[in-house]
Amino acid sequence: MRRWSKFIRIFILFAGVVCIGFLFIRADAEIADRLPLTEWEYYWGDFPIGSDGDLQWESSADQEGIHDSHWLPAQQTMNLPGRGDWNVLWLRTTLPAISWKDPSLIIQIYENFKVYVNEQLVYQYGDVDNRGYNAYQGTPERVVLLPAEQEGGTLYIKIYSGSPNIGMLDYPELTGYSDYILSLHKQQAARFILGCFYIIAGLLSLYPFYKLRLKPFLSFGGFAISFGLYTICRTTIIYFYYDNPQVWMYLELVSLIAGMASAIILIIQLFEDSQSVRPMKWLWKVHLLYGLVYISSAYIGKVHLLTGLFYYQLLLFVTMAVTIVYLSILSFRRNREAQIVLLGTVCFSLAGSIDILDSMFFGMNIPSISYLGMLLLVLCLVIVLIRKSFHMINRLRYTEKLSLVGQLATGIAHEIRNPLTVISGNLQLMNKQPNKRDTVPLMLEEVNRINEILSELLYLSRTQPPTFEKYDLILVLKSVVALFRSQSTEQPIHIHFRNEEEEPLLIWCDANRLKQVFVNILRNGIEAMPEGGNMEVAVLRERDGVKIQFMDEGVGIDVNDLPSLSMPFFTTKANGTGLGLAISHKIVEEHGGELGMFSRPQRGTMVVIKLPLRSRVKEKQGSLPINGRTSQS
């Protein structure tokens, strides 16, 4: 436990450092001086090419070029009027007569383009001239170094786009190269560090998966690593370290699809006990299948990448809606983990929806905030995983204790049961002698008590699973209630049985073992009311199972003692063995259920047992008995 506490403290400390660093870097970020170029002219179509293969820039007596009258003033930067069937657009402007130390042009363009200064090619992005296949390069912000002597020159930009969008996302800007690189690193360093944080968190989660074999940690690792890569790919600074747009673009798409599929699988694994999880099981398969077909088709040029991305964004909307509805249903049932995940999912969905709607319809170029929603979602998932891991660790410790008790019980039973048989036989012979009858019953009672303790210890040591059959739970409870009602006590005990179900409630269970649990709980409740009182047994049907409540008006249990009641040999009774509740917990867990206790001193105790309608083990095929009858499963 200490090792896991240290692991969690390190993770929380690292998350805090990242958040503080994020705020510090964002506050310290400075924007380099920029000069927007707002006066542009445009022309649809290619320039004529001379006999020497060069572009004919201007129309004159000796060359056939584009006359100045053909250039139209551009009132906007994207999707200029008069496109028709053209996929080639020319833009031009006059550079200002301002001297820069290292002049550069900051530009974002759909899709591929060339930049000319004074009729000389200075930059090319993507394949502009090949009409057969033009792979989409994405629209990252590009930095084009300009010649030192460019003041007052003419800037030409040739754009090719096979998509519905063609042009510039905004007016290009002139700035100094070194100043821009410095300010860009300051602005995007926080997002880059955030992406690295996701990746490190994903790698750290593989350690508990390796130790505990908990599948949610593996899914969280895939989710965090994928979205870490996605966050990094959405920065511009990566192009200064490896300038290959297609590599980063495809890596961004793969990480997005893989991250969404991993997130869906993680939610399924966190709440797999719910029957309403079935629609979610199809979603991650749809994401992976769509991603495989979409990316392969886009790579070979059969589908335009932006078209496929548009439909995938629609799939994201559907996924977010289904996930929120599913988590809302679980939250309405007071599932604390589902409430925490729902909070992170809603924040991430809102932030992601703003980014998607802006890119699909509005085109306002709003700064991306989806990575901030992702940060909150990651933190919520980490909280839930920590809660799940502590629960699993406690169960492992409890199982280890039961294993030790079982080994001890086997040895004790082997060594003591044989002598007890001899003592019991001799006591029965002595009981026939008149002068020994006063002491013999007391000795027999103590021998029987030792035998009961040994039987309980042997039960804890059993490894054989229960035999599941389809039984009417109502009949099992009624038989136990009738048993206690028939017993006479010194003080009046009233047992009330409340059942909201008129029809039989069939569940997969081992009826004899469940009867043992109900007997033990009712006996404890009656013993807690030495002066008499009311005992209520209620059966409540739930969507995924059934809940049985036992409520007494007894002396209650101290709050500090509640966590230890399931431990072997812990008891609050003067003559108790401390094994009854330990056995009850084991039986309920073997049925895939939960046993919880709530108590107030001098007010009473409530024991709640939740059981699934279907067993967690593989059901047998063929005919199975139902309360002594047979029915087809």
What's the CATH code of the domain at 84?
A: 2.60.120.260
**pLDDT of 483 higher than 70:** yes
Backbone angles phi, psi at 391, to 5 degrees: -60, -45
* Residue 611: both structure tokens together: 């059981």
**107 phi and psi angles, rounded to 5 deg:** -150, 145
**Plot region of 595 (φ>0 → left; ψ -120 to 50 → alpha; else → beta):** beta
Domain presence at residue 410: no
Lowest mean pLDDT among 24-28, 199-203, 321-325, 596-600: 24-28
State yes or no: pLDDT of 289 exceeds 90: yes
In a domain, 448, yes or no: no
90 and 231, same domain (yes or no): no
User: Is 145's pLDDT higher than 70?
Assistant: yes
**Domain boundary pick from 143, 171, 199:** 171
Is residue 33's pLDDT more than 80? no
Give the pLDDT score at 621: 35
* pLDDT band at residue 2 using 50, 70 and 90 as cut-offs: very low
Whether 419 maps to a domain, the answer reads no
- The answer on pLDDT for 255 being more than 90 is yes
Domain identity same for 233 and 266:
yes
- Say which CATH number the domain at 529 has: 3.30.565.10
15 and 83 both lie in a single domain: no
Residue 228 CA to residue 253 CA, distance in Å, equals: 13
- Domain match, 222 and 80 both: no
Same domain, 249 and 328: yes
Sheet strands side by side (includes 629-632): 506-509, 469-472, 623-626, 629-632
**Residue 631 confidence (pLDDT):** 35
59 falls in which pLDDT band (50, 70, 90)? low
Quick one: 116 and 55 in the same domain? yes
pLDDT greater at residue 470 or residue 6? 470
Residue closest to 233 by CA, chosen among 262, 272, 205, 194:
194
What percent of the chain lies above the pLDDT cut of 90?
A: 7
DSSP state of 119: T
In a shared domain, residues 196 and 312 = yes
pLDDT digits (tens, 9 = 90+) for 543-561: 778 888 898 888 888 777 7
Strands (E), 102-186: 103-107, 109-110, 112-117, 120-125, 142-145, 154-160, 167-168, 173-176
Give 393 or 170, the one with higher predicted confidence.
170
- Does the structure show a pLDDT above 60 at 363? no
pLDDT at residue 386, as a whole number: 78
Share of the chain residues as helix, strand and coil, in percent rounded to the nearest 5: 50, 20, 30
Question: Please, which pLDDT band fits residue 257 given cuts at 50, 70 and 90?
Answer: very high
Whether residues 492 and 605 share a domain: the answer is yes
- Of the given ranges (37-46, 165-174, 387-396, 448-457), which has the lowest mean pLDDT? 448-457
pLDDT band for position 181 (cuts 50, 70, 90):
confident
- Phi, psi at 104, each rounded to 5°: -150, 160
Query: Of the candidates 541, 543, 553, which has an alpha carbon nearest to the alpha carbon of residue 496?
Result: 553
Cβ partners under 8 Å of residue 506, min gap 6: 470, 471, 472, 473, 613, 626
Mean pLDDT, all residues of the chain? 76
Same domain, 18 and 91: no
> What is the tally of structural domains in the chain?
3
Residue 528: which residues within 8 A CB-CB, separation 6 or more?
552, 554, 555, 556, 604, 605
Indicate if 77 and 20 belong to the same structural domain: no
Residue 1 has pLDDT above 50, yes or no: no
Flag the least confident range among 27-31, 50-54, 174-178, 565-569: 27-31
Query: Residue 582 pLDDT > 50, yes or no?
Result: yes
Least confident range of 3-12, 277-286, 467-476: 3-12
- Local structure of 30: helix, strand or coil: coil
| pLDDT score for 452 | 65
Res 626 pLDDT > 70: no
Q: Is residue 206 part of a domain?
A: yes
Q: Which has the minimum average pLDDT: 101-110, 127-136, 174-183, 216-225?
A: 127-136
Question: What would the pLDDT profile of 158-169 be if each residue is shown by its tens digit?
Answer: 998 888 889 998
Going by pLDDT thresholds of 50, 70 and 90, the confidence category of residue 625 is: very low
Q: Kindly report, residue by residue over 516-546, the tens digit of the pLDDT.
A: 888 888 888 888 887 888 888 888 887 778 8
pLDDT of amino acid 595:
86
Arithmetic mean of pLDDT, 234-258: 86
On whether residue 418 sits in a domain, the answer given is: no
Q: Give the pLDDT score at 627.
A: 43
pLDDT value for 161: 86
Residue 20 lies in a domain: yes
Mean of pLDDT values over 37-47: 89
Predicted confidence at residue 157, as pLDDT, reads 92
Is this structure's pTM higher than 0.75?
no
Q: What domain range is 126 assigned to? A: 36-171
Of 5-19, 226-240, 420-434, which gets the smallest average pLDDT? 5-19
**Which pair of tokens denotes residue 177?**
């190269």
Region 311-335: what's the mean pLDDT?
85
Residue 229 burial (10 A CB sphere; 0-12, 13-18, 19+): buried
Last residue of a domain, one of 337, 360, 384: 337
Q: Which pLDDT band holds residue 567 (cuts at 50, 70, 90)?
A: low
Per DSSP, what are the bridge partners of residue 608?
549, 596
- pLDDT for 610 beyond 60: yes
Tens of pLDDT along 376-409?
A: 888 888 888 877 777 766 766 666 666 666 666 6
CA 90 to chain centre: 48
Q: Which residue has the higher pLDDT, 30 or 320?
A: 320
Residues 284, 139, single domain; the answer is no
Taking residues 173-192, report their average pLDDT.
82
Same domain, 475 and 613: yes
What confidence score (pLDDT) does residue 616 get? 46
SS3 134: coil
**Mean pLDDT of the region 279-285:** 83
Lowest mean pLDDT among 115-129, 190-204, 557-571, 609-623: 609-623
Q: What pLDDT score was predicted for residue 258?
A: 92
Alpha helices in 38-159 (DSSP H): none
Whether 79 is in a domain gets the answer yes
Percent with pLDDT over 70 in the chain: 68
What pLDDT score was predicted for residue 618? 40
Higher pLDDT, 341 or 276: 341
Q: In the chain, how long is the greatest CA-to-CA distance?
A: 144
- Angle in degrees, CA 57, 62, 63, rounded to 5: 30
Q: How far is CA 45 from the centre of its chain?
A: 50
Residue 319, domain member (yes or no): yes
| Residue that finishes a domain, picked among 142, 171, 200 | 171
**How much is the pLDDT for 346?**
86
